[in-house]
Chain A
Amino acid sequence: MSDLNLNQLVRQAHERNDYDPLISLMPYARLLGLECLRLGDDAVFRLPANQDNIGNPLLPALHGGVIAGFMEHAAMLHLLMFMGIPHLPKIIDFSIDYLRAGHYRDTYAQCQVWRQGRRVANVAIKPSKPSLSPRHGRTSRSTSLESAVVPRSARYIDIKECEWMRC
Protein backbone atom coordinates (compact mmCIF):
# COMPACT_ATOMS: atom_id res chain seq x y z
CA MET A 1 0.00 0.00 0.00
CA SER A 2 1.86 3.06 -1.18
CA ASP A 3 1.51 6.43 0.52
CA LEU A 4 -0.33 7.76 -2.51
CA ASN A 5 -2.92 4.98 -2.37
CA LEU A 6 -3.43 5.46 1.34
CA ASN A 7 -3.88 9.21 0.90
CA GLN A 8 -6.33 8.59 -1.89
CA LEU A 9 -8.28 6.06 0.16
CA VAL A 10 -8.52 8.43 3.10
CA ARG A 11 -9.70 11.25 0.82
CA GLN A 12 -12.29 9.02 -0.85
CA ALA A 13 -13.49 7.76 2.53
CA HIS A 14 -14.02 11.36 3.69
CA GLU A 15 -15.79 12.33 0.46
CA ARG A 16 -18.12 9.34 0.41
CA ASN A 17 -18.50 9.18 4.19
CA ASP A 18 -17.75 5.48 3.84
CA TYR A 19 -14.75 4.20 5.77
CA ASP A 20 -15.26 0.50 5.08
CA PRO A 21 -12.85 0.34 2.09
CA LEU A 22 -10.13 1.92 4.25
CA ILE A 23 -10.81 -0.37 7.20
CA SER A 24 -11.13 -3.53 5.12
CA LEU A 25 -7.54 -3.04 3.89
CA MET A 26 -6.34 -4.12 7.30
CA PRO A 27 -6.87 -7.80 8.02
CA TYR A 28 -6.81 -7.46 11.82
CA ALA A 29 -9.54 -4.78 11.72
CA ARG A 30 -11.65 -7.15 9.59
CA LEU A 31 -11.03 -9.96 12.08
CA LEU A 32 -12.36 -7.85 14.96
CA GLY A 33 -15.13 -6.34 12.83
CA LEU A 34 -14.23 -2.70 13.54
CA GLU A 35 -16.41 0.03 12.02
CA CYS A 36 -16.12 3.79 11.78
CA LEU A 37 -19.05 6.21 12.05
CA ARG A 38 -18.64 9.86 11.18
CA LEU A 39 -20.43 12.32 13.46
CA GLY A 40 -19.86 15.82 12.18
CA ASP A 41 -16.18 16.62 12.59
CA ASP A 42 -15.70 13.63 14.86
CA ALA A 43 -15.37 9.92 14.30
CA VAL A 44 -16.77 7.20 16.51
CA PHE A 45 -15.34 3.72 16.22
CA ARG A 46 -17.60 0.77 16.82
CA LEU A 47 -16.83 -2.83 17.64
CA PRO A 48 -20.04 -4.78 17.01
CA ALA A 49 -20.80 -7.64 19.41
CA ASN A 50 -19.20 -10.76 17.95
CA GLN A 51 -18.96 -14.25 19.49
CA ASP A 52 -15.42 -14.61 18.22
CA ASN A 53 -14.27 -11.68 20.37
CA ILE A 54 -15.35 -13.23 23.67
CA GLY A 55 -12.65 -13.89 26.26
CA ASN A 56 -14.56 -14.52 29.45
CA PRO A 57 -17.11 -17.28 28.87
CA LEU A 58 -18.77 -16.77 32.27
CA LEU A 59 -20.27 -13.32 31.86
CA PRO A 60 -19.82 -13.44 28.82
CA ALA A 61 -17.37 -10.60 28.21
CA LEU A 62 -15.08 -9.45 25.43
CA HIS A 63 -11.43 -10.48 25.67
CA GLY A 64 -9.41 -7.66 27.23
CA GLY A 65 -6.93 -7.96 24.38
CA VAL A 66 -9.71 -7.44 21.84
CA ILE A 67 -10.77 -4.23 23.60
CA ALA A 68 -7.15 -3.06 23.65
CA GLY A 69 -6.63 -4.02 19.99
CA PHE A 70 -9.85 -2.26 19.00
CA MET A 71 -8.77 0.92 20.78
CA GLU A 72 -5.24 0.78 19.41
CA HIS A 73 -6.59 0.41 15.90
CA ALA A 74 -9.10 3.22 16.47
CA ALA A 75 -6.18 5.51 17.44
CA MET A 76 -4.25 4.53 14.33
CA LEU A 77 -7.23 5.17 12.05
CA HIS A 78 -7.92 8.47 13.80
CA LEU A 79 -4.36 9.64 13.06
CA LEU A 80 -4.70 8.54 9.45
CA MET A 81 -8.05 10.21 8.99
CA PHE A 82 -7.59 13.53 10.74
CA MET A 83 -3.93 14.26 11.25
CA GLY A 84 -2.77 14.13 7.64
CA ILE A 85 -0.33 11.29 8.15
CA PRO A 86 0.31 9.75 4.73
CA HIS A 87 1.36 6.30 5.97
CA LEU A 88 0.53 3.80 8.68
CA PRO A 89 1.93 5.03 12.00
CA LYS A 90 3.90 2.56 14.11
CA ILE A 91 2.90 1.92 17.70
CA ILE A 92 5.43 2.70 20.45
CA ASP A 93 3.46 1.93 23.59
CA PHE A 94 -0.06 1.38 24.78
CA SER A 95 -1.51 1.60 28.26
CA ILE A 96 -5.02 0.63 29.32
CA ASP A 97 -7.01 0.66 32.56
CA TYR A 98 -9.97 -1.67 32.78
CA LEU A 99 -12.79 -0.23 34.88
CA ARG A 100 -15.18 -3.13 34.41
CA ALA A 101 -15.77 -6.09 32.12
CA GLY A 102 -16.52 -5.35 28.47
CA HIS A 103 -20.00 -6.79 28.27
CA TYR A 104 -21.02 -8.73 25.22
CA ARG A 105 -22.58 -5.95 23.19
CA ASP A 106 -21.49 -3.20 20.81
CA THR A 107 -18.49 -1.22 22.08
CA TYR A 108 -17.61 2.35 21.10
CA ALA A 109 -14.48 4.48 21.26
CA GLN A 110 -13.46 8.02 20.37
CA CYS A 111 -9.98 9.40 20.08
CA GLN A 112 -8.29 12.64 21.02
CA VAL A 113 -4.82 13.61 19.89
CA TRP A 114 -3.08 15.26 22.84
CA ARG A 115 0.03 16.06 20.95
CA GLN A 116 1.33 15.48 17.50
CA GLY A 117 5.01 16.23 17.19
CA ARG A 118 7.24 15.77 14.21
CA ARG A 119 7.98 12.17 15.13
CA VAL A 120 5.61 11.11 17.89
CA ALA A 121 1.89 11.45 18.40
CA ASN A 122 0.12 10.94 21.72
CA VAL A 123 -3.46 9.77 21.47
CA ALA A 124 -6.04 9.23 24.21
CA ILE A 125 -8.82 6.77 23.47
CA LYS A 126 -12.02 7.23 25.41
CA PRO A 127 -15.10 5.10 25.78
CA SER A 128 -17.98 7.00 24.23
CA LYS A 129 -21.71 7.14 24.45
CA PRO A 130 -22.52 8.28 20.94
CA SER A 131 -25.61 10.44 20.71
CA LEU A 132 -26.62 9.24 17.31
CA SER A 133 -29.52 11.04 15.75
CA PRO A 134 -32.16 9.10 13.78
CA ARG A 135 -30.71 10.32 10.50
CA HIS A 136 -27.79 8.02 11.13
CA GLY A 137 -30.20 5.15 11.21
CA ARG A 138 -29.76 4.39 14.89
CA THR A 139 -32.46 4.22 17.48
CA SER A 140 -32.22 6.16 20.69
CA ARG A 141 -31.61 2.86 22.47
CA SER A 142 -28.12 2.76 21.11
CA THR A 143 -27.28 5.95 22.99
CA SER A 144 -27.23 3.97 26.21
CA LEU A 145 -24.45 1.77 24.95
CA GLU A 146 -21.04 2.50 26.27
CA SER A 147 -17.65 1.00 25.90
CA ALA A 148 -15.99 -0.94 28.59
CA VAL A 149 -12.84 0.76 29.61
CA VAL A 150 -10.92 3.97 29.93
CA PRO A 151 -7.50 3.57 28.40
CA ARG A 152 -4.79 6.06 28.87
CA SER A 153 -2.75 6.56 25.82
CA ALA A 154 -1.10 5.24 22.74
CA ARG A 155 1.98 6.73 21.21
CA TYR A 156 2.75 6.42 17.57
CA ILE A 157 5.73 7.18 15.47
CA ASP A 158 4.51 9.13 12.52
CA ILE A 159 7.53 9.47 10.35
CA LYS A 160 9.06 7.16 7.83
CA GLU A 161 12.67 7.99 8.58
CA CYS A 162 12.91 5.86 11.69
CA GLU A 163 11.68 2.41 12.44
CA TRP A 164 11.12 3.05 16.11
CA MET A 165 11.91 5.63 18.71
CA ARG A 166 15.34 5.46 20.25
CA CYS A 167 14.88 6.63 23.81
Chain B
Amino acid sequence: MSNTLIFERAQRFLAALRHCQVLGLQVHDASPLGLTLRLPYSPQIVGDPESGVIHGGAITTLMDTACGISTVCALAEFEVCPTLDLRIDHMHPAEPNRDVFGFAECYRVTPNIIFARGYAYQDDPAQPIAHVVGTFMRMGIGVAGDKQLKRDIQGADA
Protein backbone atom coordinates (compact mmCIF):
# COMPACT_ATOMS: atom_id res chain seq x y z
CA MET B 1 0.00 0.00 0.00
CA SER B 2 1.19 3.51 -0.72
CA ASN B 3 1.86 6.00 2.04
CA THR B 4 -1.03 8.15 0.81
CA LEU B 5 -3.48 5.25 0.99
CA ILE B 6 -2.38 4.35 4.53
CA PHE B 7 -2.50 8.01 5.56
CA GLU B 8 -6.06 8.39 4.26
CA ARG B 9 -7.24 5.17 5.90
CA ALA B 10 -5.67 6.26 9.18
CA GLN B 11 -7.41 9.64 8.92
CA ARG B 12 -10.80 8.06 8.30
CA PHE B 13 -10.22 5.56 11.14
CA LEU B 14 -9.37 8.42 13.50
CA ALA B 15 -12.40 10.43 12.36
CA ALA B 16 -14.69 7.58 13.44
CA LEU B 17 -13.47 7.71 17.07
CA ARG B 18 -15.45 10.30 18.97
CA HIS B 19 -13.15 10.68 21.96
CA CYS B 20 -10.18 11.24 19.65
CA GLN B 21 -12.07 14.13 18.07
CA VAL B 22 -12.64 15.58 21.53
CA LEU B 23 -8.88 15.43 22.17
CA GLY B 24 -8.16 16.86 18.70
CA LEU B 25 -5.92 13.96 17.62
CA GLN B 26 -4.53 14.25 14.09
CA VAL B 27 -2.59 11.92 11.79
CA HIS B 28 0.88 13.41 11.47
CA ASP B 29 2.59 10.76 9.35
CA ALA B 30 1.83 7.27 8.05
CA SER B 31 3.77 4.66 6.11
CA PRO B 32 3.96 0.84 5.94
CA LEU B 33 6.55 1.11 8.74
CA GLY B 34 4.32 2.85 11.23
CA LEU B 35 2.11 5.74 12.16
CA THR B 36 2.52 9.01 14.03
CA LEU B 37 -0.40 10.86 15.64
CA ARG B 38 -0.34 14.35 17.12
CA LEU B 39 -2.04 15.28 20.38
CA PRO B 40 -2.39 19.08 20.52
CA TYR B 41 -1.76 20.66 23.91
CA SER B 42 -4.96 21.95 25.44
CA PRO B 43 -5.97 23.09 28.94
CA GLN B 44 -8.68 20.41 29.11
CA ILE B 45 -6.18 17.51 29.22
CA VAL B 46 -4.07 18.95 32.02
CA GLY B 47 -3.60 16.62 34.99
CA ASP B 48 -1.70 18.93 37.32
CA PRO B 49 -3.23 22.43 37.31
CA GLU B 50 -0.19 23.94 39.00
CA SER B 51 2.40 22.81 36.49
CA GLY B 52 0.14 22.48 33.44
CA VAL B 53 1.50 18.99 32.73
CA ILE B 54 -0.71 16.77 30.55
CA HIS B 55 -2.45 13.91 32.36
CA GLY B 56 -0.98 10.45 31.86
CA GLY B 57 -4.42 9.25 30.78
CA ALA B 58 -4.36 11.52 27.72
CA ILE B 59 -0.95 10.10 26.78
CA THR B 60 -2.37 6.59 27.24
CA THR B 61 -5.29 7.43 24.94
CA LEU B 62 -2.88 8.87 22.35
CA MET B 63 -0.73 5.73 22.44
CA ASP B 64 -3.63 3.24 22.55
CA THR B 65 -5.08 4.99 19.50
CA ALA B 66 -1.71 5.16 17.71
CA CYS B 67 -1.08 1.43 18.29
CA GLY B 68 -4.67 0.53 17.32
CA ILE B 69 -4.60 2.55 14.10
CA SER B 70 -1.06 1.36 13.23
CA THR B 71 -2.73 -1.96 12.35
CA VAL B 72 -3.81 -0.35 9.05
CA CYS B 73 -0.10 -0.06 8.19
CA ALA B 74 0.31 -3.82 8.51
CA LEU B 75 -2.99 -5.18 7.15
CA ALA B 76 -4.00 -5.18 3.48
CA GLU B 77 -7.67 -4.88 4.45
CA PHE B 78 -9.22 -3.01 7.35
CA GLU B 79 -10.03 -5.12 10.41
CA VAL B 80 -11.43 -4.14 13.76
CA CYS B 81 -8.62 -4.80 16.27
CA PRO B 82 -9.59 -4.14 19.89
CA THR B 83 -6.88 -3.76 22.54
CA LEU B 84 -6.14 -6.87 24.61
CA ASP B 85 -3.57 -5.28 26.86
CA LEU B 86 -1.43 -2.20 27.03
CA ARG B 87 1.52 -1.19 29.15
CA ILE B 88 2.87 2.32 29.32
CA ASP B 89 6.10 3.47 30.97
CA HIS B 90 6.42 7.16 31.65
CA MET B 91 10.00 8.36 31.14
CA HIS B 92 9.34 11.93 32.23
CA PRO B 93 6.43 14.40 32.21
CA ALA B 94 5.46 16.13 28.97
CA GLU B 95 6.45 19.77 28.78
CA PRO B 96 3.40 22.05 29.09
CA ASN B 97 2.12 24.09 26.14
CA ARG B 98 3.65 21.78 23.57
CA ASP B 99 2.06 19.10 21.42
CA VAL B 100 2.81 15.43 21.94
CA PHE B 101 3.48 13.03 19.08
CA GLY B 102 2.82 9.31 19.32
CA PHE B 103 4.59 6.85 17.03
CA ALA B 104 3.45 3.22 16.82
CA GLU B 105 4.37 0.20 14.73
CA CYS B 106 3.21 -3.39 14.46
CA TYR B 107 6.24 -5.57 15.07
CA ARG B 108 4.55 -8.94 14.76
CA VAL B 109 1.36 -9.90 12.97
CA THR B 110 -0.12 -13.38 13.49
CA PRO B 111 -3.46 -14.69 12.19
CA ASN B 112 -5.10 -13.78 15.49
CA ILE B 113 -2.94 -11.25 17.31
CA ILE B 114 -1.04 -8.08 16.44
CA PHE B 115 1.83 -6.99 18.67
CA ALA B 116 2.39 -3.24 18.60
CA ARG B 117 4.83 -0.90 20.28
CA GLY B 118 5.62 2.77 20.20
CA TYR B 119 6.70 5.85 22.03
CA ALA B 120 5.47 9.36 22.74
CA TYR B 121 7.72 12.39 22.29
CA GLN B 122 7.58 16.14 21.92
CA ASP B 123 10.55 17.47 19.90
CA ASP B 124 13.05 14.68 19.79
CA PRO B 125 12.05 11.03 19.25
CA ALA B 126 15.34 10.12 20.94
CA GLN B 127 14.03 11.70 24.16
CA PRO B 128 10.68 9.92 24.51
CA ILE B 129 8.27 10.89 27.27
CA ALA B 130 6.69 7.42 27.32
CA HIS B 131 7.15 3.93 25.89
CA VAL B 132 4.22 1.69 25.14
CA VAL B 133 3.68 -1.94 24.19
CA GLY B 134 0.37 -3.64 23.55
CA THR B 135 -1.42 -6.54 21.92
CA PHE B 136 -4.45 -6.29 19.67
CA MET B 137 -6.95 -8.96 18.67
CA ARG B 138 -7.71 -9.46 14.98
CA MET B 139 -11.45 -9.83 14.61
CA GLY B 140 -11.20 -10.92 10.96
CA ILE B 141 -12.30 -9.06 7.87
CA GLY B 142 -15.93 -10.07 7.96
CA VAL B 143 -17.12 -9.16 11.46
CA ALA B 144 -20.85 -8.59 11.49
CA GLY B 145 -21.82 -4.95 11.77
CA ASP B 146 -18.52 -3.46 10.71
CA LYS B 147 -19.11 -3.60 6.95
CA GLN B 148 -20.20 0.02 6.80
CA LEU B 149 -17.29 1.08 9.02
CA LYS B 150 -14.92 -0.87 6.78
CA ARG B 151 -16.31 0.90 3.72
CA ASP B 152 -15.99 4.24 5.49
CA ILE B 153 -12.37 3.65 6.46
CA GLN B 154 -11.10 1.92 3.33
CA GLY B 155 -12.84 4.49 1.18
CA ALA B 156 -13.11 4.14 -2.57
CA ASP B 157 -10.42 1.45 -2.69
CA ALA B 158 -12.53 -0.97 -0.63
Q: Which residues of A pack against B, CB within 8 Å? A: 1-2, 25-32, 51-58, 62-66, 68-70, 72-73, 88, 90-98, 101, 163-164
Q: Is the interface of A mostly helix, strand, loop or mixed?
A: mixed
Interface size on B, residues (CB 8 A): 42
- B145–A26 CB distance below 8 A: no
Q: Which residues of B pack against A, CB within 8 Å? A: 16-20, 22, 43-50, 54-58, 60-65, 68, 80, 82-93, 145-146, 149
Which residues on the A side are within 8 Å of B56 (C-beta)? 69, 72, 91, 94
A94 touching B88 in the complex, CB below 8 Å, given contacts A28-B44, A54-B19, A65-B19: yes
A98 touching B82 in the complex, CB below 8 Å, given contacts A27-B44, A31-B44, A164-B91: yes
- B49–A68 CB distance below 8 A: no
A69 touching B92 in the complex, CB below 8 Å, given contacts A55-B17, A64-B83, A98-B83: no
Which residues on the B side are within 8 Å of A66 (C-beta)? 19, 57, 61
Which residues on the A side are within 8 Å of B58 (C-beta)? 28, 65, 69
A91 to B146, CA, bound (A): 36
A31 to B24, CA, bound (A): 13
11 interchain pairs, CB-CB under 8 A? A1-B48, A28-B47, A28-B55, A53-B18, A54-B17, A56-B82, A57-B149, A62-B19, A64-B83, A65-B58, A164-B92
Q: A27-B47, A63-B19 are in contact. List 5 more A-B contacts (CB 8 A).
A: A26-B55, A27-B44, A28-B55, A31-B22, A54-B17
A69 to B146, CA, bound (A): 26
A92 touching B57 in the complex, CB below 8 Å, given contacts A54-B19, A57-B149: no
